[in-house]
């Protein structure tokens, strides 16, 4: 398809091989190989964009951009950037559509994923990434990741509704409902009514979406976007609520009562400079998340506890729906890097009738309460107790609860993870925007360290990490599979996965590392390299094994968040394996694509 279409474009624009090679500044034989079909640039790769840009500017210079609009069936109102985006999509239409089915003998069922469905509807409606991104006020690259199956729509219904309405409106205006009806397998008459057509399209478009996936993405984004927690300013301290002594109630009612009792409790903890507190609640988190003013106050007080040195033991309720888990984690994540959070989940089955809350600071105070589920906002009854006999009893109660709980989430500094073997006792799927330290060839490592001028101590430490990571890979690959999913990035400033230093590859170093990946893939049967069209996430690396998921920030502060709960691990694995399975290719094709990427640099 590509070869026929590039020849049709060159014929229609009257561009010769010499013209194109002159504009690209490369040898005529390189363009000749493309025209004859001996070489096909990677769709949306660096060489492909240079080629498309050259074709557009030649057409513009000769006054023939109308020909590009005609063959791509686009409107005259489009900008140059939009025309190039659509031309790219049109030239590589068949190649792009076939990428997801290039697995090792495993044909992908048509329209099985959200990405395949969105891509199909955008092609029918002749909608570019730029056009949809502009309508949704989001970056076109985000739309591209949707279409590639690397990302999923967020659980926010607003963006999903807008996307669906926009695409349906375009197909109605362009008289494309018959084509859409064939794909949706419904009579075209059903789509003529906008409301009914919207309902049918919405159900089909998002019917392939797995409920947990948007929440997994949201959690990953929260970790990637995490900023270091700031110390309380004098102004923040002045805004804290009245000290606990101003409120001497014993009983609090409903959501507002719980908020008041929690503020009193945390102030008492801060005043006593308590060494530890114990928190458990399986009721709805609305009391904390619904009111941003209260939520900000809660964060200030929790941070003040941490700054006092208070260790916080919390038993998270992971039986909640994934949306509520994500909202809760959003508020807790900034506190984790302090090292003062000890998080668990209870393995006992939750009561479906009554909810329970228990916040305890030994020898200081306790907030306890219960309510019939769903009525907590108004009927929840919460006690505030300070008597030693009751506090001792509550302590035993929490101890019994903790004995039936397992670790949920741990936070490690990067060096701790590099020294550990967490998760290497099973298959691993890795999604990364950077090439791994473990796969870096020795000559590249020493070239980089020498070039950036590290002292001997740092060089020895980094070399130790590198050797340990290589050994972990070798041991794991004897019995298990490592799927490493990377994107071949256009060469510019490509950051190196190096501890203690900020460094960037030279072109020669990057090429050597890529070639080593291909060699590892050929040398080890269990090392499977997966080439993505673009990184799933820019600021994090995800490594999902059977019992552990590591989400590592690649920006400062560098931390690894290690999840151990089976349900959350399964959700992460499902996401990672979904991306990987869409781009499975055989080892020979891996080598061919890497060499093609390297050769593309001549264009």
Position 421 in a domain: yes
| Domain's final residue, options 209, 225, 258 | 209
Please indicate, yes or no, whether residues 150 and 50 belong to a single structural domain of this protein: no
Position 218 in a domain: no
Please indicate, yes or no, whether residues 431 and 496 belong to a single structural domain of this protein: yes
Give how far Cα 327 sits from Cα of 235, 296, 358, 488, Å: 27, 14, 20, 34
Q: Which of 15-29, 225-239, 245-259, 387-401 has the lowest mean pLDDT?
A: 225-239
- Return the pLDDT at 463: 95
Please indicate, yes or no, whether residues 458 and 487 belong to a single structural domain of this protein: yes
Measured in whole angstroms, how far is the alpha carbon of residue 98 from the centre of its chain? 24
Give the structural domain span for 509: 412-602
pLDDT at 575 over 70: yes
Query: What DSSP character marks residue 112?
Result: -
Please indicate, yes or no, whether residues 196 and 334 belong to a single structural domain of this protein: no
- Return the pLDDT at 90: 78
Helix (H, G, I), strand (E, B) or coil at 315: strand
Q: What is the CATH number of the domain that holds 127?
A: 1.10.260
Write the Ramachandran bin of 276: left for phi over 0, alpha for psi from -120 to 50, otherwise beta: beta
- Return the pLDDT at 239: 45
Please indicate, yes or no, whether residues 553 and 519 belong to a single structural domain of this protein: yes
Specify the pairing of strand 428-431 against strand 482-487: parallel
Please indicate, yes or no, whether residues 401 and 416 belong to a single structural domain of this protein: no
483 neighbors 543 (Cβ within 8 angstroms): no
Region 529-535: what's the mean pLDDT?
Answer: 86
Specify the pairing of strand 341-346 against strand 311-316: parallel
Q: Which of 387, 371, 369 is nearest to 379 (CA)?
A: 371
pLDDT at 174 over 60: yes
The band of 602, judged by pLDDT with boundaries at 50, 70 and 90, is very low
Pick the residue with more confidence: 64 or 381? Answer: 381
Q: Which runs of E-coded beta strand occur in 408-546?
A: 409-413, 428-431, 482-487, 527-532, 540-544
Please indicate, yes or no, whether residues 16 and 128 belong to a single structural domain of this protein: no
Measured in whole angstroms, how far is the alpha carbon of residue 567 from the centre of its chain? 18
- Alpha carbons 24 and 57: distance in angstroms, whole number: 11
| Domain's final residue, options 67, 99, 131 | 99
Please indicate, yes or no, whether residues 42 and 74 belong to a single structural domain of this protein: yes
Sign of the CA dihedral 78, 81, 86, 87? positive
Q: How many domains are contained in the chain?
A: 4
pLDDT at 108 over 50: no
Position 281 in a domain: yes
| Tokens coding 364 | 């200081």
- Alpha carbons 487 and 152: distance in angstroms, whole number: 18
Q: Return the residue matching tokens 């994934």.
A: 322
32 neighbors 16 (Cβ within 8 angstroms): no
Sign of the CA dihedral 71, 73, 76, 81? negative
Please indicate, yes or no, whether residues 322 and 434 belong to a single structural domain of this protein: no
Please indicate, yes or no, whether residues 444 and 497 belong to a single structural domain of this protein: yes
Q: What is the CATH number of the domain that holds 305?
A: 3.30.870.10
Q: Which of 117-121, 291-295, 442-446, 563-567 has the lowest mean pLDDT?
A: 563-567
For the beta carbon of residue 397, count every other beta carbon within 10 angstroms: 17
280 neighbors 368 (Cβ within 8 angstroms): no
Please indicate, yes or no, whether residues 242 and 375 belong to a single structural domain of this protein: yes
Q: What is the pLDDT of residues 297-322, one digit of tens each?
A: 998 999 999 999 999 999 887 665 55
412 neighbors 560 (Cβ within 8 angstroms): yes
């Amino acid at each position: 398809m590509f070869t026929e279409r590039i020849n049709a474009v060159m014929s229609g624009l009257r561009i010769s091989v010499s013209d194109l090679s002159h504009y690209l500044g490369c040898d005529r034989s390189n363009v000749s190989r493309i025209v004859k079909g001996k070489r096909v640039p990677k769709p949306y790769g660096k060489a492909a964009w240079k080629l498309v840009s050259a074709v557009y500017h030649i057409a513009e210079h000769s006054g023939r951009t109308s020909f590009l609009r005609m063959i791509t069936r686009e409107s005259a109102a489009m900008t140059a950037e939009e025309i190039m985006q659509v031309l790219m999509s049109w030239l590589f239409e068949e190649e792009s559509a076939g990428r997801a089915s290039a697995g090792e003998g495993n044909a992908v069922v048509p329209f099985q994923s959200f990405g395949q469905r969105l891509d199909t509807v955008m092609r029918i409606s002749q909608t570019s990434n730029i056009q949809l991104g502009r309508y949704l006020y989001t970056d076109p690259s985000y739309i591209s990741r949707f279409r590639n199956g690397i990302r999923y729509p967020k659980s926010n219904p607003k963006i999903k509704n807008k996307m669906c309405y926009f695409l349906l409106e375009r197909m109605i205006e362009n008289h494309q409902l018959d084509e859409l009806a064939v794909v949706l397998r419904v009579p075209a008459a059903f789509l003529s009514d906008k409301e009914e057509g919207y309902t049918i399209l919405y159900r089909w478009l998002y019917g392939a979406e797995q409920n947990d996936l948007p929440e997994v993405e949201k959690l990953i984004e929260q970790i990637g976007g995490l900023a270091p927690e700031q110390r309380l300013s004098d102004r923040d301290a002045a805004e804290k609520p009245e000290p606990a002594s101003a409120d001497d109630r014993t009983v609090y009612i409903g959501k507002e009562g719980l908020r008041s009792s929690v503020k009193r409790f945390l102030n008492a903890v801060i005043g006593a400079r308590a060494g530890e507190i114990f928190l458990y609640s399986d009721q709805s988190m609305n009391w904390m998340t619904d009111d941003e003013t209260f939520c900000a106050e809660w964060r200030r007080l929790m941070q003040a506890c941490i700054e006092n040195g208070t260790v916080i033991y919390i038993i998270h309720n992971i039986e909640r729906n994934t949306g509520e888990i994500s909202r809760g984690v959003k508020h807790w994540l900034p506190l984790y890097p302090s090292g003062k959070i000890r998080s668990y989940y209870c393995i006992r089955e939750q009561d479906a009738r009554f909810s329970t809350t228990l916040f305890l600071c030994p020898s200081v105070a306790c907030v306890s309460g219960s309510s019939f589920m769903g009525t907590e906002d108004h009927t929840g009854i919460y006690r505030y107790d300070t008597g030693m006999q009751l506090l001792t009893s509550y302590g035993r109660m929490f101890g019994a609860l903790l004995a039936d709980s397992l670790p949920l989430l741990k936070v490690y500094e990067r060096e701790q993870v590099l020294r550990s073997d967490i998760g290497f006792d099973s298959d691993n799927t890795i999604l990364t925007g950077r090439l791994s330290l473990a796969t870096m060839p020795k000559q590249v490592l020493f070239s980089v360290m020498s070039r950036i001028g590290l002292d001997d101590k740092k060089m020895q430490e980094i070399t130790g990490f590198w050797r340990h990571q290589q050994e972990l890979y070798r041991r794991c690959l004897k019995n298990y599979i490592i799927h490493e999913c990377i994107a071949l990035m256009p060469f510019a400033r490509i950051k190196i996965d190096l501890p203690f230093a900020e460094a960037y590859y030279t072109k020669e170093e990057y090429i050597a590392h890529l070639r080593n990946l291909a060699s590892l893939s050929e040398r080890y049967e269990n090392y499977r390299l997966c080439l993505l069209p673009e990184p799933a996430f820019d600021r994090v690396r995800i490594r999902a094994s059977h019992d552990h998921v590591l989400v590592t920030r690649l920006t400062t502060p560098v931390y690894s968040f290690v999840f151990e709960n089976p349900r959350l691990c399964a959700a992460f694995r499902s996401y990672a394996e979904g991306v990987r399975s869409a781009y499975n290719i055989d080892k020979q094709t891996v080598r061919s694509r890497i060499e093609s990427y390297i050769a593309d640099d001549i264009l």
